[in-house]
Amino acid sequence: MGTFTREHNNLVETLITIFTVHKGSLKVLLIKNKIDPYKGYWILPGSPLKNSETLESNITDAVFDQTGILKLYIEQCCAFSGLNRNPDNRVIGISFMGLADSTTLEVRREEKKDIESEWFSIDELPKTGYDHEEVIKKNIECLKKKIVNINILRNLFPSDFTIPELQKIFEQILNKKLDRRNFRKRIITMDLLEDTNEFNIGGNGRPAKLYRFKENISEKNLF
């Protein structure tokens, strides 16, 4: 290990891209920035890293403090070290991916009255501050590689979903069209789902069966 000087005294921050599925679309949670620079822009939740913190404890605390979400699946994704990420200081960003189902979020999320937050479709992102649009895109790429794993997917779909809804989210993340019959055949023959004996009511066309993932599914990839 080399000798450290003031030239190596960089600041570090954590950032998290929290994904959920809501109304048939994959969405990301952003908060309104209240300070300059980029005041009024939308940014990702996160926090400067203290000397007394690990990355994991920092991002867990930041998620709850800024979003009110107490628990969700979190995985580290990428590092961002561009020299001009922050106009005021040299800041290295460590990004995390968070996954949570919308039903659990509604029940367990604690309202943060002093923080304005909103869910945005990954296809319709607002104007973001700093390099957070790049961070989001990188984390979508990270999710794209992970989403084929069933145990990762279960964090977004714990229960009560239709196969067409599942396919739509795959297509949005992978950014490509999937054959309907082949997708259905693949997921049914892998013996991953159990029938809830319920149907989605109120949608257009014929009601579709609602499914949930079986418990204790072994680690496997859908594709």
- The CATH number for 47's domain is 3.90.79.10
Q: Is pLDDT of 41 > 80?
A: yes
Q: pLDDT for 167-204, tens place per residue?
A: 999 999 999 999 999 999 999 999 889 999 998 876 66
Residues 6+ apart with CB under 8 A from 209: 162, 163, 195, 196, 198, 199
Q: Is pLDDT of 107 > 80?
A: no
For the segment 137-161, the average pLDDT, to the nearest whole number, is 90
pLDDT of 28 reads 97
Number of folded domains in the chain? 2
Q: Rounded to whole angstroms, how far apart are CA atoms 155 and 214?
A: 13
pLDDT band, residue 221 (cuts 50/70/90): confident
Which tops the pLDDT comparison, 160 or 217? 160
pLDDT of 1 reads 64
Judged by average pLDDT, the poorest of 11-25, 105-119, 127-141 is 105-119
- Residues 162, 202, single domain; the answer is yes
Identify the domain containing residue 206 by its residue range: 158-213
Residues 6+ apart with CB under 8 A from 95: 14, 15, 16, 17, 44, 76, 77, 78, 79, 80, 135, 138, 139
Q: Supply 169's token pair.
A: 């989210």
- Residues 135, 164, single domain; the answer is no
Which tops the pLDDT comparison, 101 or 16? 16
For the segment 109-115, the average pLDDT, to the nearest whole number, is 83
Q: pLDDT for 152-166, tens place per residue?
A: 888 998 778 999 999
pLDDT of 59 reads 97
Examine residue 19 and state whether it is found in any structural domain, yes or no.
yes
What's the mean per-residue pLDDT of the chain?
91
Residue 196 belongs to domain with CATH number: 1.10.10.10
Residues 6+ apart with CB under 8 A from 122: 19, 25, 26, 27, 28, 136, 140, 172, 173
Examine residue 167 and state whether it is found in any structural domain, yes or no.
yes
- Residues 40, 127, single domain; the answer is yes
